[in-house]
Amino acid sequence: MSISMYQASVPVFVRMLKNLDAILSKAQVHAEAKKIASGVLPATRLIADMLPLSKQIQIATDHAKGAPARLARTELPKYEDNEQTIDELKARIAKTIAFLETFKPEQIDGSEDAEIAFKLGSHDLQFKGIDYLLGFAMPNFYFHVVTAYDILRANGVDIGKRDFIG
């Protein structure tokens, strides 16, 4: 039995984004209980030279929406990257999930050998579909979701592995 490119992408992204949304809900409860202003946690970093929580979530959602769109050769939606509160971050996650749920397996399956090329900063990137999904998009997505989790955990939000895994 083989796994499809669709199965390896869209349902995985959706599940993890729903878990991230639930983690943010716990962060919101924590912030309210501790009387932490709405913009503090989204601006928090693990360490000075790392990106803040808001940027971790922005990048995670960019990979989640980018991978299926590129594999399916569809328009990649652009977001403004201006979220400053947990509510705004949760809205971004919801918008990303809604976008992901528009994909059908037949749009993505069979894209293993598709040529995926795009610019990231000053770098021109080129991949085969399977290498892009499994070697670039998924690792980057998980890195930023884990970092968002770690920022919240380090700031006292009562979350654990079960919250991350779902």
Could you read off the pLDDT tens digit of each residue along the chain, which spans 166 residues? 588 999 999 999 999 999 999 999 999 999 999 999 999 999 999 999 999 999 999 999 999 999 999 999 999 999 999 999 999 999 999 999 999 999 999 999 999 999 999 999 999 999 999 999 999 999 999 999 999 999 999 999 999 999 999 9
pLDDT at res. 3: 84
Helices (H), the chain: 10-33, 40-43, 53-72, 86-100, 105-108, 129-132, 138-154, 161-165
**Is 78 a member of any domain?**
yes
pLDDT at res. 5: 98
Task: Please count the residues of the chain.
Answer: 166
**Is 26 a member of any domain?**
yes
Q: What is the CATH number of the domain that holds 160?
A: 1.20.120.450
pLDDT at res. 11: 98
Structure tokens at 12: 């995985």
- Please state, in angstroms and rounded to a whole number, the distance separating the CA atoms of residues 84 and 66: 22
Domain count, the chain: 1
Structure tokens at 117: 């090329």
Query: With a threshold of 0.75, does the pTM exceed it?
Result: yes
Cβ–Cβ under 8 Å, residues 72 and 107: yes
Q: Which domain holds residue 156?
A: 10-165
**Is 3 a member of any domain?**
no
**Is 5 a member of any domain?**
no
**Is 1 a member of any domain?**
no
- Please state, in angstroms and rounded to a whole number, the distance separating the CA atoms of residues 83 and 39: 9
